[in-house]
Amino acid sequence: MMQNVKINSYQFLVLVIFFTVGTSILAVPSALAIVAKHDAWISAILGTALGLLIVWLFTKIGIWFPNLTFVQMNETLFGKWIGKVFSFLFLSMTLLFTAVILYYSGSFLTTHVMPNTPMAATNILMAIILVMAVRLGLETIARSAEILTGVFFILFILLVIFIAPEIKYENIQPVFEVDIKSIAESSLTLIVVSSVNAVTLLMIFPAFINQPKSAKKSFFIGNLIGGLIIIIITFLCITVLGADLTARQEYPSYGLAKMINIGNFINRVESLMAALWIICLYYKMVLYFYASVYGLAQILNLKDYRPLTYPLGMIVVVLSLVVFPNVIDQHIFDSTTSKYFSLTIGLLLPLLMVIVYAIRRKQLKKDAKPS
């Protein structure tokens, strides 16, 4: 049976935080530092601020169609067939990004945590709990996230406290040494990953939330809190590791955790960072996969979305193992294909929806009225 559940605005807030932080907490500081160097933390601030404008756009579109998912919005605005084409493009993005995140988790675990374990094994195990979560439904996903949010913030606060003595403020000086163009260019990475891709959350907001107006604030606050976490992590990476080392490392915040040493007693606590990342990564992946499965079920007019979880889960596992032949291809994908795909589906399509809604507003309101 298709879902008829509702989550509350706080649960949605937690999901937005995890989605916003997602892959960013480990990978984004490096991407920002490559272009903006020791002004990367300023890029993070700019990216978070501009990202809120995109979230405002999503909330506006969501409030126009309070009972529809993103797939249904497309069909309502563009008509049945054109709407389905746009929805298929959207679902191809969410399914691909599910596989990409599964690759990230497998690559990280086999490289830094379990080097003797084949990546296929970690990916299959992660995919099992991914499929399990989506089959249990949105309410279960939201409640589990609600429980783990406390664990996440405790680990994050401990990380910040433990690494604070290692901060060297000279690593961020002189401020604004790079030009504004470089700062803006690097901030685009954060905007795409944390805000543009949040178009995925329109599969939940506001159709499956019991307080849409309150959830609108949750969307903003969740994105802002997630952005602040990324700003803090980026600032710590630059001030502790330096801009050059941050740019060279694939996962600089993991290297950050390795430097914690309190009285030669509290050290080698990088597992804290690994736990933070896996929690965020898992929920971002679950939300992508949920959007893919539920959206496809709506396109195909199925009564139950659950039968799609197994075949799509197997496709995701296979894709995660073949999507990147090597790390170089992954970096090329992240900086080109992924960015353009996200901007097309997560920014250009919503802007097109706004234009079409402005043209068809009277007709849509007329159709929405009960006869």
pLDDT in tens, 133-150: 999 888 999 999 999 898
Mean pLDDT within 56-61: 91
Give me the residues paired with residue 104 across strands.
none
Are residues 173 and 41 in contact, defined by beta-carbon separation less than 8 angstroms? no
74-127 pLDDT, tens digit each:
888 888 889 899 999 999 999 999 999 998 888 888 887 788 888 889 889 999
265-281 pLDDT, tens digit each:
555 666 777 777 888 88
Instruction: Mark 182-218 as b/e (b = at least 16 C-beta within 10 Å).
Output: ebbebbbbbbbbbbbbbbbbbbbbbbbbebbeebbeb
Q: Element (H or E) spanning 98, and its range?
A: helix 80-108
CA distance 16 to 220: 9
Name the residue with tokens 């609108």. Answer: 216
Closest to 1 measured CA to CA, from 297, 341, 265, 206:
297
pLDDT band at 359 (very low <50, low <70, confident <90, very high): confident
Handedness of CA 261, 265, 268, 270 (dihedral sign): negative
One-letter amino acid at 176 equals F
Q: Which of 27-31, 136-140, 151-155, 256-260 has the lowest mean pLDDT?
A: 256-260
Name the residue with tokens 């043209």. Answer: 359
Q: Which of 138-152, 168-182, 212-226 has the lowest mean pLDDT?
A: 168-182
* pLDDT confidence of residue 54: 92
Q: Which of 72-76, 218-222, 243-247 has the lowest mean pLDDT?
A: 243-247
Query: What DSSP line would sit under 334-371, residue for residue?
Result: HHTHHHHHHHIIIIIHHHHHHHHHHHHHHHHHHHHS--
Q: Of all residues in the chain, what percent carry a pLDDT higher than 90?
A: 26
Query: What DSSP line would sit under 29-41, residue for residue?
Result: HHHHHHHHGGGHH
Query: In this structure, what token pair is assigned to residue 95?
Result: 């399914």
Tell me the residue ranges of DSSP E strands in the chain.
Answer: 261-262, 266-267
Query: In this structure, what token pair is assigned to residue 50?
Result: 């501009």
Name the residue with tokens 């907001």. Answer: 205
pTM: 0.92
Who wins on pLDDT, 157 or 23? Answer: 157
303-313 pLDDT, tens digit each:
888 999 999 99
158-172 pLDDT, tens digit each:
888 888 888 888 878
pLDDT band at 1 (very low <50, low <70, confident <90, very high): very low
Mean pLDDT within 64-73: 88
**Taking all residues of the chain, what is their mean pLDDT, rounded to a whole number?**
85
Closest to 61 measured CA to CA, from 226, 221, 189, 212:
212
Give me the residues paired with residue 266 across strands.
262
What is the number of helices (H) and of strands (E) in the chain? 16, 2
* pLDDT confidence of residue 288: 94
Q: Of all residues in the chain, what percent carry a pLDDT higher than 70?
A: 94
* pLDDT confidence of residue 166: 80
pLDDT band at 371 (very low <50, low <70, confident <90, very high): very low
Q: Delineate the domains of the chain, giving CATH numbers in brackets.
A: 9-361 (1.20.1740.10)
Handedness of CA 90, 214, 365, 57 (dihedral sign): negative
Helices 270-299 and 138-163 sit at what angle, rounded to 10 degrees? 160
Are residues 58 and 285 in contact, defined by beta-carbon separation less than 8 angstroms? no
CA distance 247 to 241: 10
